[in-house]
Chain A
Amino acid sequence: MSDPLLRLTGIRKSFGTAEVLRGIDLDVAEGDVVALIGASGSGKSTLLRVINLLERVDDGQVLLRGEDISDPRVKPDAVRARIGVVFQHFNLFPHLSVLDNVTLASRHVLRRDRAESEARALELLGRIGLAEHARSYPDRLSGGQQQRVAIVRAIATDPDLLLLDEITSALDPELVGDVLALVRDLATAGTTIVMATHEMAFARDVADRVVFLDRGVIAEEGTPDEVFRRPREQRTREFLARFSEPLAGDPLPRQ
């Protein structure tokens, strides 16, 4: 069997005395969609930042297509150009138009010319119905629109891997749908995605694999069906119960 697209072995990371990741092993095959779930502070975001080399690991290896990208001899900028990231708070550049945000990496990292970059950007923006906003600045867009622009910015360079860090957590509920629909389209089209999320229903629908992180270790992983319907671990059941209670539980007590 050939190398998986992404392989993590024995990843450890501490901040001061706090051990955030305590030995993570994970394989992500080409075209896989992996959902990381777990409580706040369980290490989901740190793990994504480790994959993108925004954090230096204390131990362990990150392999991208079999190449050890956690090796200090590897140029991090070149690796990051192959990985797209979407952040919780969009992080669009406020001084650049939507189009310039999307074409930035294509022009300055991949050194494609402006016409080519803009044609590709406009095509992607058109697909999400935002082509007419190409010349607008991010502050003219709604949160949902900004986040979809951020996703397009991340995929405009055709990365090998897309990392999504709780991309709907800062959005109003009615804006979440459009963003998730876009992610679903990407997943269906075969994009390899690792996403940290609190949207359990979405994870169940879209993910090929669900990974439950608890205090810096993978407590349980499997297909959405296995993890959500037949969790083996007590910890997983407790965590999931907190999400399902408001739906299945009692109505609020009346005054």
Chain B
Amino acid sequence: MTTLPAAPSALELDRRRYRRRQTGRSVAVAAVSTVAFAVVVWLTIVNTPGWARVQSTFFDPAVAARAWPRVFQGLLTNLTVLVFAALGVLLLSILLATLRTLRGPVFFPLRALAAGYTDLFRGMPLIIVLYLVGFGIPGLGFTAERPPAALLGTVALVLVYSAYVSEVFRAGIEAVHPSQRLAARSLGLSHAQTLRLILLPQAVRKVTPALMNDLVAMQKDVGLISVLGAVDAVRAAQIETAASFNFTPYVLAGLLFVLLALPLIRLTDWYTARIRRREQMGAVV
């Protein structure tokens, strides 16, 4: 009974040709309409009375070239802060989410603490947390010198983003079907083991797209550490702008942030699509 897969019939080949043609047509329609829309937008903007002025103030290549070294140097600061903040958020948020899943009256204070923490830091604007941490902690005088602004900014980011991300983790843990917990406990695993070996691995898979989205959001908010005086890309752009009376450095910094975000955004899309494919297992609807 090991027949080779038969060669497709003429009918099937015709269907494939038709589908290919339809796909080609859809792509062509989409491409043409996109280009047409872009051209209309472009012409509208270029023909406004103030365009020449806006162009020289925001899109001056010479100014951009002059600002480049400093802004790029600043972006490296952003990148460093992002990496450390992401790691800090990961650890703190898993801890918070774990505390909130503890059962029993003994753990009430821990649960309440974790709940209070997420309430507080999800409610408080990031910029205010930045000021409180950035100027309040040095004011306490733990250290002789003021800690670097980038470090203080990282701490503030971790405090705020952990509150959000811990809720994402908690939602993921609760989305794992209760029968999984029952099955694990019935095997004799403790609450902690169940969480670590059974629930968290499944929860992480469920919430990875949401986590990556939060990471992209944090990547932009890293720019806010400039308010503490850290010379990141935004601060560098500000300095260059003040020197040249031209806003092009801000646009340059903005574009660099977009370039930084793009790989992550694409990665998120790819991962989400992969999960969807696996769940649908080949069905066409």
Which residues on A are within 8 Å of B, measured CB to CB? 10, 12, 14-15, 19, 22-23, 49, 53-61, 70-73, 76, 215
Contacts and interface: CB of A to CB of B under 8 A. Distances in A.
Interface in B1-36: 1, 3, 5-6, 8-9, 11-12, 15, 18-19, 22
B5 to A, nearest CB: 6
A59 B8 contact: yes
A48 to B, nearest CB: 12
A46 to B, nearest CB: 10
A58 B12 contact: yes
Interface string B37-50: 00000000000000
Nearest to A216: B1
Contacts of A58: 8, 12
Contact of B3 (A15, A22, A73): A22
Given A22-B3, A72-B22, A215-B1, A54 B284 contact: yes
Contact of B284 (A10, A56, A59): A56
A16 to B, nearest CB: 9
A89 to B, nearest CB: 14
How many chain B residues sit at the interface, stated as a range, is 10 to 19
Contacts of A54: 283-285
B107 to A, nearest CB: 31
A130 B195 CA distance: 42
B105 interface: no
B11 A61 contact: yes
Interface of B: 1, 3, 5-6, 8-9, 11-12, 15, 18-19, 22, 282-285
The listed residue with most B CB atoms (<10 A of its CB), out of A72, A73, A76, is: A72
Contacts of B19: 72
Contacts of A73: 18
Contacts of A71: 15
B11 A72 contact: no
Contacts of A59: 6, 8-9, 11-12
Contacts of B3: 22
A22 B3 CA distance: 9
A49 B283 contact: yes
A218 B169 CA distance: 49
A229 B19 CA distance: 46
Nearest to B1: A215
A55 B18 contact: no
A73 to B, nearest CB: 7
